Amino acid sequence: MKPGARKPAGPEDGRALRALGERLREARLERELTLTELARRAGMSRRALTEAEAGRANPTLLKLVGLARALDLAPAELFEPPPGTRRGRRVALLGLRGAGKSSVGRPLALALEAPFVELDRRVEELSGLSLTEVFDLHGEEHFRRLEAEALESVLAQGERVVLATGGSLVAAPRTFARLRRTCRTVWLRARPQEHFQRVLAQGDRRPMRDRPRAMEELRAILAAREPLYARCDLTVDTSRRSVEEVVATVLDSVQESGG
């Protein structure tokens, strides 16, 4: 290479841009800003911001300064994880009801020598109510506040835990972003009919009660949430696989990543 010549882009450059994009997206979601709102505040086009969040663009220094200012961050904070985001050996399992989060979570926690926590149970403990009562009496907004508080209480207990989350947590942008920064996230993926049958096999008839179109509703929910679940660090297809096989797959991934 000639002196002064620019070094060709390598794999490290791509990883750096993807990490920057992820940090931008998470900071935006934490502040509940849309792409359009953040682009306007930063003085850039929505398309340019979309490309930056996807890790496909290399913003200029001035653009990065503008983005940092719009997000109320120091420019250097765009290149490093925020304080208090060590993952340690925290593993969070995500998916709709019937994904197998509890079935997989318990033996996985045993293998990792970590406590197993169900986030919905923590919400019930905080409120002194069942989830149904929380929603019926106080609504979804109150539930989301409790869910975020419950997550923080789990994170405060240490860097070793296996956490089964509620199926709708991905629909809460700030809580989902916090979860992804502090835990290795795993989407336990299954087909709609498998979710349905697993819930029924547990003796839970609620999905069918007064809901003749329950399967259609389930398909719609899964389709809407799939792009969110796909942001997890790992996706494990649980179709036609035993609990032991799924646990082994997750465990291998955790150990390979240094957990």
CATH code of residue 212: 3.40.50.300
pTM: 0.69
Residues 43, 111: one domain? no
Q: Are residues 140 and 29 in the same domain?
A: no
The larger pLDDT score, comparing residue 143 to residue 16, is at: 143
Say whether pLDDT at 223 is over 60: yes
> In terms of C-beta density within 10 A (0-12 exposed, 13-18 middle, 19 or more buried), how is residue 199 classed?
buried
Q: Are residues 244 and 149 in the same domain?
A: yes
Judgement on whether residues 139 and 235 belong to the same structural domain of the protein: yes
Q: Are 21 and 52 in contact (CB under 8 A)?
A: yes
Domain identity same for 114 and 188:
yes
Quick check: 208 pLDDT over 50?
A: no
Per residue in 16-32, pLDDT (tens digit) is 888 898 888 888 887 88
Same domain, 114 and 231: yes
- Whether residue 7 lies inside any domain: the answer is no
CB-CB neighbours of 248 under 10 Å: 15
Segment 7-15 shows an average pLDDT of: 63
Number of domains in the chain: 2
DSSP structure class, residue 215: H
Which helix (DSSP H) or strand (DSSP E) does residue 155 occupy?
helix 131-155
Residue 136 domain boundaries: 89-256
